[in-house]
Structure 1
Amino acid sequence: MVPLLALTAVGLVNVPPVWSAVSRWRHERLVNSMPYKTTHGFWQTIELPKEVRLNAIHAALLPSGRILLIAGSGNKIDQFKAGTFKTVVFDPATGAATLVPTPTDLFCSGHTFLPDGKLLVAGGTLRYEVLEPEVTHAGGSMTVKNESPDGPRSFPKGTVFVAANGLRYTAGDAFTVPSATKTVRGKGKVTVTAGATTVWVDAAGGGDRYATSTRGQYRIEGLPPGADQRNLYGLAEKITMAKQDYQGRKETYEFDPVTERYQRVADMHEKRWYPTLTGLSDGSVLAVSGLDGAGQVVDGSQNEIYDPATKKWTVRKDLNRYFPTYPTLFQTAEPGVLFYTGSNSGYGPEDKGRDPGLWDLSDNSFRPVPGIRAADQLETSMSAWAGPVQNQTVMVVGGGGVGESRKSTRRIDLVDLTEREPRFRPGPDLPEGTRYPNLVTLPDDTTLITNGARDYRGRGATDNHIARIYHPDTNTLAEAADPAVGRNYHSAALLLPDGRVLTVGSDPLYADRKNTISGSFEQRLEVYTPPYLYRGERPAITEGPAAVGYGRQATFATSAPADIASVRLIRPSAATHMLNVDQRSVGVNFTRQAQGITVTVPAERTLLPPGPYMLFAIDRSGVPSIARWVTVS
């Protein structure tokens, strides 16, 4: 392990360069004063040792209390080509950071926690985007057919397809073609339906002569003559010199918080880049959306479910629902019903799959939820439960126009899903238009809203450098201390077991107001200490069980039981790209005992899907204990 090199107090927050040294000194003195911290909280920066710094695209709080930071190739094509993929486990309690072997490029994968506390990580980057002026080799999708019912056939990356004119094209990834299926119809008639899969191919040589817009059949090089050559072949509609989008992977891993290693499990059936993985109430996981192996948004017919018992995926054709990439989907209190908030991270047409609504998995019906303001600016917004999940109130914060639009909104809109006809209603507005906000649910039922930018990827030096705390009881915003580090695209934030908040990442396009200097990825971390940790001694949970069943009671020894005002079970976060579908706080009924408290865990799996939770005891001043880890199962 590598010791932490620097934990530096931040004083210069939003300080214009024209300020005098005296003004800077006064400002630093103000933000470091106890009265200011008690009202606004306090930020600190963390700079990891050089050898373990990374572009933290993904951040997850492990049940060990350590933080998993995943870069993969970190949005750096040179790292991708070199096969240099990074993962770091960071301990916020000690400052230690450790590099972890990363099996493939998990950049822009999806993730969620499983009932046993492992983090499921699926998808990632198979290929980087190539803009049209830079395309040197024609490429396109090849549909590979198998007309033999004798079994599937697998082929390696680099398999060659030969056109009728002799031009050669190579497969960009390994692939398996399912066997053909036989269907017996009346009077002994048998229909054979060829098995099929799709793989991206690149021209073996450069230039326009390899491009074609004519549908054609392609021979697979290396197959023996006879039945194999007749039954196995490729079909392509077109192969062009057009822009080539990012392409997704289908590999899936479980990250073990004990061994701190990735473990390979069954692949997804569909390749995905920017997918959402949502944990369901039975412990299974639903995967939707993402860019496929040809750079197209996965169509809804390929939604699939992971079973943690068998460690395999099953395609659910009955759950045919299209979403833009990284859609926010929450498990609601109603069994089998998910809420799509409309928040997403980009790819997909502006007129398809953008409207919020309730998706019933029992019959694949979708009920739109109206009323959201700036409906054309849900891209790059973030959503979270407002207060305990029992309230079934969801907030949608900020966002911007589709793609590289300059639009951004100050909107905070809320919806109560318990209403007979749910409808969004306005909340308090943010002080500035905000794309890429980070939302973190705190133990006292408030929500920290921090970071973001007014323009696409912070263009024009538009990072906001502001933070606010939303109070659901009064539907108001309170000022928080300003973060020193600006964060926009590729940033994340999560709650720590000690009640503080960690923020990571930021990937601006430019480093200056005139957009003339290329931006660099922000590798510093920042920790926010909320005001409640400056209000005196915090309560302590000293003993208690490590696991509790649904609807069961458990007793925990605490300091000053008479002062405990509330208890919360908070699910650990797995965050990326304004997406954190794991985050939820569950209110817990309790009674006070002479030496502690007895809690009653809710019986509804829809409120708290099985898995690890942080148990916080909060006193009458709103000060939370350090969390005790509890598995709900």
Structure 2
Amino acid sequence: MADPAQVGRWDAVLPLPNVAIHAHLLPDGTVLFWGRRDDPDGSMNDHVGTPHVWDPATGATTPTARPALVDGTTVNLFCSGHVFLPDGRLLVAGGHLADGDGVNQACTYDHVTGAWTPLPLMNGGRWYPTVTTLADGRVLVASGSAVDGNGNSVVSTVSEIGDGGPWQPTVDFIGLPLYPRMHVAPDGRVFMAGSNPTTYLLDTGANSWTPVGPRINGDRQYAPSVHYAPGKVAYIGGGNDAGTDLPTAATEVIDLTATPPTWRAAAPMAFRRRQHNATLLPDGTVLVTGGTGGPGFNDVSPGRPVHTAELWDPAADTWTELAAEDVDRCYHATALLLPDATVLSAGGGEFMVGASPNAPADTHRDAQVFHPPYLFRGPRPEILDAPAEITPGEPFAVEAPGATTVSLVRLGSVTHAFDQNQRFVALPGTTALTAPVGLPPGHYMLFALSEAGVPSVARILRLLPAPAPRFAARAVAAAPVRPGADRTGTRVTVGLTAQCPYGLGPCWGGAYEALSGLDDVAAVDPVADTADSTAVVHLRGTGLPDLRRWPAQIARSAGGGYAFRGIELTVTGSVEKREGRLFLMGPAPLRLRALRPGTELAWDLATRGPRPATAAERNAYRDLRRRAARGPLTATITGPARRTRTGWSLLVRVVGP
């Protein structure tokens, strides 16, 4: 049997009344969680849901009231964002109407009263938003998608800031990813670490976004990022490599206090992972659990889910393989640090596979508790006395015989491979401590650690709010300028298939950035066509695109996150017949061909294949030949365009006058 002092130990699997897709450590040490639907055989688009509270001390679970709007309309908090307010209430923003279509609600949960309280509505629905507690205690809600009047699932470009009253908009940002990985920097700005390749700082005072520069490994979806030390952020695994479609094992780190801050490679994990969780531990290490190493979005076929946990030591930049859990913890799994320094690993499943729910065997209404190796390396210190509240910048002391250091870990609030609330700070000593300045206010676990790194059971204390620090201007690495509003060049419709199963509309951020970076593109339309899985770009000139380079350029930015299917053009010119073949004389001669089954650019998300052409589209080329036989004509022709060694061809789908 493996030594738990080296690899840790997992407890037996414990049942839960629902899949813990969203999990939160409350200020009283209990865990609030909820899933997608109460009935495992019910609708995947229920507009009601019952959160539960699990007590680690007793193992008991208790349902809470169901959250609702002011008028009593129930809401489903699945796919919402959440974070703790300075007073300990949990704020939840957004929720689920259908995949890609969110609710505009916001509400709070009070663990003392057990009550849900609705807040003012946001500026639009948000599905997959991120919520961040700012340095002054207000909250920022960013991203999240909803269906617009044209039937497109559109990611919100305008973030909002609130404190329980009416929401205030911030400057817009086109191309935000779903669940952006956001962290409050030491100077009070908000750092977006992913999943898009280029990372940014948002100054909520000046209302501006500043590019920091690209991560090394491009677009990496469904990967955790952690604020593992003040100003230091790690981005771990995720995404899909171009070609193999596998996730990466790579780790990247950035120090936001450096001038300029720059991403660099850290040691990679032993296992490729996507859909995994990363949990900050009291000794400053990072525990990674779950995930899949297979290709695609969420491969849970035998041998693909990763059961072996890994531990990253940032000081040594080393990874250690730990004990393996018993259950697949992939998409919709969560992990949460508990006050006794163990980690709850829970959930997984409750997703759509095409038009049907996943197999029941892949839905996990259960959890396991992990005891990290540090709990087997000697006696645990005991905190005999600690303040219930601390004030930033002011001294405090902790009485904990045998302890040499203390650490603060903000209460976790996790979903979809990202904890929107956790934060770690180490404080040397125990008797002459100073509460850190610049941390988001709210409740933290205070751990005392022995010289051997063994943590105590935590005391949960409250860091009081303080005035937000002033934003200091600093040099930032130059980044490519985003394409502007020039839309005078050739209009090109681009077919992209998102690895994300919800389609190009909601999974738009990485695609928008990749298309914006194409050499000959001047502008990208801000909204993708969800139904057809297409986007529109505008070239810098009136010629044709350089299709020889586009696939590689998209892959460099987005990896395997998006598959390039081709393009469609609308070109006006004279139709000429040469040696029995039709040509359209536009910016360049285009040989006209018939649209064949399987060559359509429009995509069917349900079948994951080209959408079959209509009868009129299939017959468009035949009808054009008949018209051309009667003499010269000018026409506007739309269809998929191909470039071969002999030149360009246009597959005739629609013929206009």
**TM-score of the superposition, structure 1-length normalised?**
0.67
Q: What displacement does 1:552 show?
A: 1.6
User: In the alignment, does 2:133 pair up with 1:279?
Assistant: yes
Structure 2: where are the runs of 5+ without partners?
Answer: 68-74, 465-657
Per-residue CA deviations over 1:309-355 (Å, capped at 9, x if unaligned) read xx332223x354541110011000013x2111113xxxxxxxxx542
Q: Distance in 2 between matches of 1:263 and 1:545?
A: 29
Q: Distance in 2 between matches of 1:115 and 1:491?
A: 27
- SS of equivalent residue, structure 1 residue 532: helix
- 2:6 is aligned, of 39, 44, 47, to 39
Q: What displacement does 1:81 show?
A: 5.9
Match of 2:216 in 1: 373
Answer yes or no: is the 8 Å Cα contact 2:84–2:90 preserved in 1. Answer: yes
Answer yes or no: is the 8 Å Cα contact 1:457–1:489 preserved in 2. Answer: yes
Q: Distance in 1 between matches of 2:253 and 2:370?
A: 25
Q: What displacement does 1:427 show?
A: 1.3
Matches for 1:212-361 after TM superposition, within 5 Å: 246-294=100-148, 296-300=153-157, 302-308=158-164, 311-316=165-170, 318-320=171-173, 322-335=175-188, 337-343=189-195, 354-361=197-204
Match of 1:620 in 2: 451
Residue 632 of structure 1 aligns to which amino acid in structure 2? L
Q: Distance in 2 between matches of 1:280 and 1:77?
A: 40
Answer yes or no: is the 8 Å Cα contact 1:460–1:510 preserved in 2. Answer: no
- SS of equivalent residue, structure 1 residue 78: coil
Residue 445 of structure 2 aligns to which amino acid in structure 1? M
Match of 2:236 in 1: 397
Answer yes or no: is the 8 Å Cα contact 1:56–1:74 preserved in 2. Answer: no
Q: Distance in 1 between matches of 2:420 and 2:46?
A: 32
Structure 1: where are the runs of 5+ without partners?
Answer: 1-29, 130-245, 344-352, 592-596
Match of 2:460 in 1: 629
Per-residue CA deviations over 1:440-497 (Å, capped at 9, x if unaligned) read 1111111101111023212433101111110111111112111111111111111100
- 2:410 is aligned, of 571, 583, 596, to 571
- 1:89 is aligned, of 33, 38, 53, to 53
- 2:76 is aligned, of 85, 105, 116, to 105
Answer yes or no: is the 8 Å Cα contact 2:47–2:96 preserved in 1. Answer: no
CA spacing shift, 1:600–1:101, aligned 2, 3 Å:
same
- 2:275 is aligned, of 432, 436, 442, to 436
CA spacing shift, 1:329–1:74, aligned 2, 3 Å:
farther
Q: Distance in 1 between matches of 2:192 and 2:243?
A: 23
CA spacing shift, 1:287–1:501, aligned 2, 3 Å:
same
Residue 411 of structure 1 aligns to which amino acid in structure 2? A
Match of 1:363 in 2: 206
Q: Distance in 1 between matches of 2:79 and 2:412?
A: 16
Q: What displacement does 1:436 show?
A: 1.1
- SS of equivalent residue, structure 1 residue 411: strand
Q: What displacement does 1:582 show?
A: 1.1
Matches for 1:109-148 after TM superposition, within 5 Å: 109-126=80-97, 128-129=98-99
Per-residue CA deviations over 1:349-392 (Å, capped at 9, x if unaligned) read xxxx542232333334444344633313x111110023x32xx2
Matches for 1:71-90 after TM superposition, within 5 Å: 71-73=35-37, 78-79=42-43, 84-90=48-54
User: In the alignment, does 2:435 pair up with 1:601?
Assistant: yes
Answer yes or no: is the 8 Å Cα contact 1:72–1:84 preserved in 2. Answer: no
Sequence identity (%): 34
Match of 2:587 in 1: none
Answer yes or no: is the 8 Å Cα contact 1:91–1:97 preserved in 2. Answer: yes
Answer yes or no: is the 8 Å Cα contact 1:458–1:508 preserved in 2. Answer: no
Answer yes or no: is the 8 Å Cα contact 2:147–2:154 preserved in 1. Answer: no
Q: Distance in 1 between matches of 2:167 and 2:82?
A: 14
Q: Distance in 1 between matches of 2:216 and 2:22?
A: 29
Q: Distance in 1 between matches of 2:59 and 2:25?
A: 15
CA spacing shift, 1:443–1:81, aligned 2, 3 Å:
closer
Q: What displacement does 1:112 show?
A: 0.4
Q: Distance in 1 between matches of 2:206 and 2:112?
A: 39
Q: Distance in 2 between matches of 1:384 and 1:486?
A: 22
CA spacing shift, 1:508–1:90, aligned 2, 3 Å:
closer
Answer yes or no: is the 8 Å Cα contact 1:488–1:508 preserved in 2. Answer: no
CA spacing shift, 1:114–1:323, aligned 2, 3 Å:
same
Answer yes or no: is the 8 Å Cα contact 2:24–2:413 preserved in 1. Answer: yes
CA spacing shift, 1:522–1:601, aligned 2, 3 Å:
same
Match of 2:337 in 1: 495
Answer yes or no: is the 8 Å Cα contact 1:319–1:361 preserved in 2. Answer: no
Q: Distance in 2 between matches of 1:271 and 1:402?
A: 32
Q: What displacement does 1:293 show?
A: 4.1
Q: Distance in 1 between matches of 2:420 and 2:243?
A: 25
CA spacing shift, 1:508–1:117, aligned 2, 3 Å:
closer
**TM-score of the superposition, structure 2-length normalised?**
0.64
Answer yes or no: is the 8 Å Cα contact 2:404–2:429 preserved in 1. Answer: no
